[in-house]
Amino acid sequence: MGDECTGISEKAIMGMTPVVDFQKLELLSRKANVLKNCMADRGFHEDIVWRKYVEPLAKVNATKQAISFDEAIENIRKVDMWIFRKQNQRPLYWVSTKN
């Protein structure tokens, strides 16, 4: 599922060339939104187990980086939403709603 949605998100930004920095951020945002919508269409959403796992990490990151807790969570989310295979004991971002 994840690989299919990753491909769809790549196609969504294909041919778009950012000229200035904010356009790069817009493309990343568009790609992430397409992935999120694609996964939702296939019955997946953010796992509450993942959220509980990363909250302590986000608190540490927020303090170290002098950013808000919400920004720290979002930074972790931006990475973890692209991981579709379990790694060590870390829970996956996505969980099926069809269970």
Domain count, the chain: 2
pLDDT for 1 equals 67
86, 77, 1: which is closest to 42 by C-alpha? 1
* Segment 45-65, tens digit of pLDDT: 999 999 999 999 999 999 999
Which residue numbers in the chain have pLDDT < 50?
none
Residue given tokens 């000229």 in the structure block:
19
3-state secondary structure of 67: coil
Does 79 share its domain with 90?
A: yes
| Residue 58, token pair as written in the block | 């986000």
Same domain as 50, residue 32: no
Q: Are 48 and 72 in the same domain? A: yes
Q: How far apart are CA 14 and CA 8, in angstroms?
A: 10
User: Residue 15: what pLDDT?
Assistant: 87
Same domain, 31 and 2: yes
Model confidence, pTM: 0.84
**Tokens found for residue 30:** 């568009």
CA–CA gap between residue 95 and residue 5 (Å, rounded) = 14
If asked whether residues 62 and 97 sit together in one domain, one would say yes
| Parent domain of 13 | 1-42
Q: Clarify whether residues 38 and 58 are in a common domain.
A: no
According to the model, what pLDDT value does residue 83 have? 94
